Structure 1
């Protein structure tokens, strides 16, 4: 991947409404938290099947679109200062079935669905036979997505030994399952408490639920 200088905005901590919370959870009581919920994708699946779209890249697109709508999920430390990236890109895992290992790839985010899928397809083809953990250096402005398509889980937690000043959120999606009139997909979200609270996770989940429900309108308006 060609190195691209990502744009960002510095946070003025002196005037920031969360400056005390940031200080406590960054230094005094280092803390992350995770939350697992289930999202109804019943309206999404028929649309994907009808149009020949693969589930995983579309879900990556929807999660990335939701993340980029909410400032709390785009924060990082850069040169000793807290910043908000203008845009963040997904690092997502892809399984190599022959070795039962995975690679972490990045497709640069575009709000336009067709452009994002073009980026995704280029990356998929370029690294189809590359078994390295990171076939290319990921961009600074990133967050993480992984998938456990074999398990319908109720809870999932990542245990990161040292997450000091690493504010990029991590999302893990699981095997979806039919329940009454709903098709529920588990999704686990892990964040650093220095930059993100429960209310922010709730807002992001609401956005993602809206996107899954209205996917036909979102995509057909762009292609």
Structure 2
């Protein structure tokens, strides 16, 4: 079984409420109208898929790294609360992701520390996925990091909409991502991609920017074999 992540737990950085432009928005969606929202799009991944076909690198770790790279660029997707309930951001967040055991038809949830160097992240993630492939526990590493966010893959189906109904979800600030089966259309490849986020963390502008930057990463996949 994969061992727990060796990375030390960082300390959340409190947000300066006096200078924070989204203070009023945070208070509104945190206390007056607490809500999450979801957005589902098709990302064009034609160049990304072509690059992986000629590479020894694997698709799922590459997808996870691309998401983690963009998530770590923006504080609104690294949000949490301090012990006294004040908004804060993690210095870095790590992807947690699902691994399917086809014999049992169950999933395990594991994590790999984010590394800005894709090659290093890929090496670690491939090992974690291999170790968890036959896991019989849901959390074979013993738990997931507090400074984490979730990625799930549903490669058996494409979808045009995806939402999670989370009990107490208005206290969950980390983004949640879901990936579907590739869609081929007019010689182009598309990836169903869903993101769910607390409205106190991010507005539609921020989520649209994340989606746009992710699509740019997939459009120029020179990093796949860097």
Shift of 1:52: 2.2
> Partners in 2 of 1:47 and 1:86 — Cα distance?
31
TM-score (norm 2): 0.93
Counterparts of 1:1-223 in structure 2, within 5 Å, are: 1=4, 2=6, 4-79=8-83, 80-136=85-141, 137-216=143-222, 218-220=223-225, 223=226
Q: Which moved more, 1:146-155 or 1:121-130?
A: 121-130
Unmatched tracts of structure 2, length 5 or more: none
Q: Deviations over 1:8-50 (max 9, x none)?
A: 3210123211111111111111110000000011101121010
Shift of 1:3: 6.0
Q: Which moved more, 1:89-98 or 1:127-136?
A: 127-136
TM-score (norm 1): 0.94
Q: Which moved more, 1:79-88 or 1:104-113?
A: 79-88
The number of equivalent residue pairs is 220
8 Å CA contact retained: 1:76, 1:165: no
Shift of 1:7: 4.2
Give the CA RMSD over aligned residues.
1.4
**Structure 1 segments of 4 or more deviating over 4 A?**
none
Q: Which moved more, 1:163-172 or 1:7-16?
A: 7-16
8 Å CA contact retained: 1:77, 1:165: no
